[in-house]
Amino acid sequence: MNKTKSVRFQAVEILESIEKNQAYSNLLINHAIEDNRYSNVDAALLTELTYGTLQRKMTLDYYLEPFIQNQKRLESWVRQVLRISVYQMKYLTKIPDRAILFEAVEIAKKKGHKGIANFVNGVLRSIQRKGLPSLDEIQDPIEKLAIETSHPLWLVKRWVNQFGFDRTKDMCFENLVAPHQTARVNICRTTVEDCIKKLEKEGYIVEKSSSVPDAIRSLKGNIAKSSCYKEGLLTIQDESSMLVGYAMNPKVGETILDACAAPGGKTTHIAEKLNNTGKITALDLHKHKVKLIKENANRLHLENIETKVMDSRKVRDHFSNESFDRILVDAPCSGLGVLKRKPDIKYAKVEADVEKLSDIQLNILSACAPLLKKGGLLVYSTCTVDRTENSGVAKRFLQHHPEFEMDVSLVDRMPKAIQPFIKQNEIEILPQDLKSDGFYIACFKKKV
């Protein structure tokens, strides 16, 4: 059996893997917790150190820069040790500095040699003596916001142009707040009230969502480990994402296409709203992701979902025109609405990605459009907050497809709490609006 690694050593290795290999932080953390059999306390600390350091990477580098000016070729793992140490010193007030320094030096000895250990010790002791540099030294307000909230400058500038400085500032700070776990109750098999009672009996602390009627929010405990989850009474899903099911507004017995379906959260929501009737054809490009849709459907006891491995840009090769009552295109996007859950994204994306993705999104919508029956609904959604991908794509789609119009009834089927975020028949939710993911939804109706 492998020897259990210290939490901080493991955190450094995860951060190193993310930086070098663009690995997914959530998967690495979960594997590390299982492999090392960490206690709940150690698992929580590993998660905090990894996500916290990742979330604030640019801020931490700003703090470190005066102390490592002559170390331009500093090995990546050494920088991770310093980042994780400064993160604890600055943001985790319950951990004493002596423990932080001791652990950092021990990691440096194990991964390097005495010289590197002495260097790490020297940098951290200098920070102890002199204190961290002030962010107020940054004169430009947009640059200061970028460094203070650790968002790339190009992204902050782009958001300021789209949303204004104040909305951008609120969004950047909200992205640093750890998200609540939320779940959608399977209304085919139980009620919100009964689900809450069962979870409370298991020791979870949960409450009804204030935004979405069939949602609950966990205040304590991972409800993905609950018997309610295993029995298919709920699905882990963000509240913003659940709004797609309301936008779709499926009617019993209808035939529906979900063009970019994995891992199946929205697919299964639509299936539940159909009360297990009709038929949903769920597509994804990757075989292993299609498997996730099947697993979710089986766990929820849903029998009206058929899955296919397919590039949704080629749907016309496989389906007849006007063969679906409703179509969902939850398109591949930049993911800039989910930065509080996946902070790795903000460092991995570049501005050119946004333009490229907007073309892919339009291509998928255009491919699916002929498959919709007259009078049917085509819902377009993303988990990004960029208007080029969102309202920009919606506008381009309508210009290319005069047989469609915006669905003016979208507002009528949305939960009351969401209605303030509907403008020009589009839903635009920023992370600070519902303390959830940033999200966009547009609904097009095919003219009769």
What is the secondary structure of 341-354 as a DSSP string? T-THHHHH--HHHH
Non-local (6+) Cβ contacts of 72 within 8 A are: none
Distance CA 57, CA 306 (A): 43
Distance CA 327, CA 128 (A): 58
172 is catalytic: no
**What token pair was written down for 367?**
């491919």
263 preceded by cis ω (within 30°)? Answer: yes
Contact call for residues 427 and 240 (beta carbons, < 8 A): no
What is the secondary structure of 15-75 as a DSSP string? HHHHHHH---HHHHHHHHHHHHT--HHHHHHHHHHHHHHHHTHHHHHHHHGGGSTT-TT--
Catalytic residue among 172, 260, 368, 383: 383
Non-local (6+) Cβ contacts of 222 within 8 A are: 181
CA 439 distance to own-chain centroid: 10
Contact call for residues 185 and 234 (beta carbons, < 8 A): yes
Tokens 């200098």 correspond to 126
DSSP 8-state secondary structure symbol assigned to residue 272: H
- Nearest residue to 411 via CA among 431, 430, 426, 397: 426
Q: Among all residues, which ones are annotated catalytic?
A: 383
